[in-house]
C-alpha cells in the first residue's frame, strides 16, 4: 500500500546547499508525510538547458524573458536566457568569493541573493547594472515576489517576508506538514496566494500557504528526467521553478541539468491508494 509518507526524517536535517553528499535517485520516494494531496502533472515540452548552469534561481517575466541565477564559488552568474532554445543572451559574472542564490523579479528589476555573504543585489533587468545593495542576517537560499512582499528561504523550515523596496524583514512563517517542520526549503516561486518551494535533495516541490505555513500540496517530480543527473553528479538535484502566467505552466530544471522542462499541474487529487 502506498501512503503519503516515507523519508520525512531526511528532510528534518538542514544542510548547506553547496553539494549533496549522496546521489539522488529518481526512485526515491516523496519526502513528505501526512494528509497532503499529490498534485498531478504532465510534461508539455522539453527544452535545452546549459549543463554548466548550477541553477539557484529561475524566474520568467510576463513578457516571456527568462532570468537565471547560478551558483558555486568562482562560477556564480546572473543570466538572461532564451526560454525555448536555452541560448545565453546576457550574463553578468559575480566575484569569485560569492556564491549566488535565489532570484526574484520585482517590476523591471531583479534581486539576487548570496548564500553566506548576507548580501543581496538589485539590478536593472534590461542592463544588469546594480541599482542597490542590501544586507541581511543568515543564509540566502530562495527568493520570490508575491506582488506585495518578497518571500525568502534560508534552508530551514522558515519563510521570511521582506519589503520589496527596502529589503527589511516584515514577518515570517514556519512551514509545517502533518504538524512537523518542513526543512531544506530552497528555490521559491510565488504564484497567486501560494509559494512553491523546492525541497533540497529531493524531487519534491511543496505548495505552501504563506498565511499559516501549511503545505497544501506536493508535486512529486520523480521520473521527470532520465537518467537522473544526480546519479552521476550528487549536486545535480532539482532546483528551479518559474511560472508561465500566459500558458499557466511551470518551467522546472535542476543544477547542471540538460533540460528545462515545461509542465502543467492539472489537479490536486489525493493519493488514490492512501485509503486502501
Could you give the CA distance from residue 142 to residue 107 in angstroms, rounded to a whole number? 18
Residue 96 lies in a domain: yes
Prediction pTM value? 0.85
105: domain CATH number is 2.130.10.10
Task: Please compute Rg for the chain using Cα positions.
Answer: 17
Q: Say if 28 falls within a structural domain.
A: no
Assigned domain for 133 exists: yes
Which of 210, 214, 175 has the alpha carbon at shortest distance from 195?
210
The reply to whether 14 falls in a domain is no
Would you say residue 13 lies in a domain? no
Q: Poorest-confidence range of 14-18, 89-93, 162-166?
A: 14-18
**Alpha carbon 152 to chain centroid distance?**
11
Task: Look up the domain containing 155 and give its range.
Answer: 34-267
Please state, rounded to an integer, the average pLDDT across all residues of the chain.
85
Q: Is residue 151 part of a domain?
A: yes
CB count, 10 Å around CB of 191? 16
Does 242 fall in a domain?
A: yes
Residue 8 CB neighbour total at 10 angstroms: 17
21 pLDDT above the threshold of 90: no
Question: Which one is predicted more confidently, 34 or 207?
Answer: 207
Question: For residue 254, what pLDDT is reported?
Answer: 96
Q: Identify which has the larger pLDDT, 14 or 211.
A: 211
Count up the domains in the chain and report the number: 1
Q: Indicate whether 276 belongs to any domain.
A: no
Amino acid at each position: 500500500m502506498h501512503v503519503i509518507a516515507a523519508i520525512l526524517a531526511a528532510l528534518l536535517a538542514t544542510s548547506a546547499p553547496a553539494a549533496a553528499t549522496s546521489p539522488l535517485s529518481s526512485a526515491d520516494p516523496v519526502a513528505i508525510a501526512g494528509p497532503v494531496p499529490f498534485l498531478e502533472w504532465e510534461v508539455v515540452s522539453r527544452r535545452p538547458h546549459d549543463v554548466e548552469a548550477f541553477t539557484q534561481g529561475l524566474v520568467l517575466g510576463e513578457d516571456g524573458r527568462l532570468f537565471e541565477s547560478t551558483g558555486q564559488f568562482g562560477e556564480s552568474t546572473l543570466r538572461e536566457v532564451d526560454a525555448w532554445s536555452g541560448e545565453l543572451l546576457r550574463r553578468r559574472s559575480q566575484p569569485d568569493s560569492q556564491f549566488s542564490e535565489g532570484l526574484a523579479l520585482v517590476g523591471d528589476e531583479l534581486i539576487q541573493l548570496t548564500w553566506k555573504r548576507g548580501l543581496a543585489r538589485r539590478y536593472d533587468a534590461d542592463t544588469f547594472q546594480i541599482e542597490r545593495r542590501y544586507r541581511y542576517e543568515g543564509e540566502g537560499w530562495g527568493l520570490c515576489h508575491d506582488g506585495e512582499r518578497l518571500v525568502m528561504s534560508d534552508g530551514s523550515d522558515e519563510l521570511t517576508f521582506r519589503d520589496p523596496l527596502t529589503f527589511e524583514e516584515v514577518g515570517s512563517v514556519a512551514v509545517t506538514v502533518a504538524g512537523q517542520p518542513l526543512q531544506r526549503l530552497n528555490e521559491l516561486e510565488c504564484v497567486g496566494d501560494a509559494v512553491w518551494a523546492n525541497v533540497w535533495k529531493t524531487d519534491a516541490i511543496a505548495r505552501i500557504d504563506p498565511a499559516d505555513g501549511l503545505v497544501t500540496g506536493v508535486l512529486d517530480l520523480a521520473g521527470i528526467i532520465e537518467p537522473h543527473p544526480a546519479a552521476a553528479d550528487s549536486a545535480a538535484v532539482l532546483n528551479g521553478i518559474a511560472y508561465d502566467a500566459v500558458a499557466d505552466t511551470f518551467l522546472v530544471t535542476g543544477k547542471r541539468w540538460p533540460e528545462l522542462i515545461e509542465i502543467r499541474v492539472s489537479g490536486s487529487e489525493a493519493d488514490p491508494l492512501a485509503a486502501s
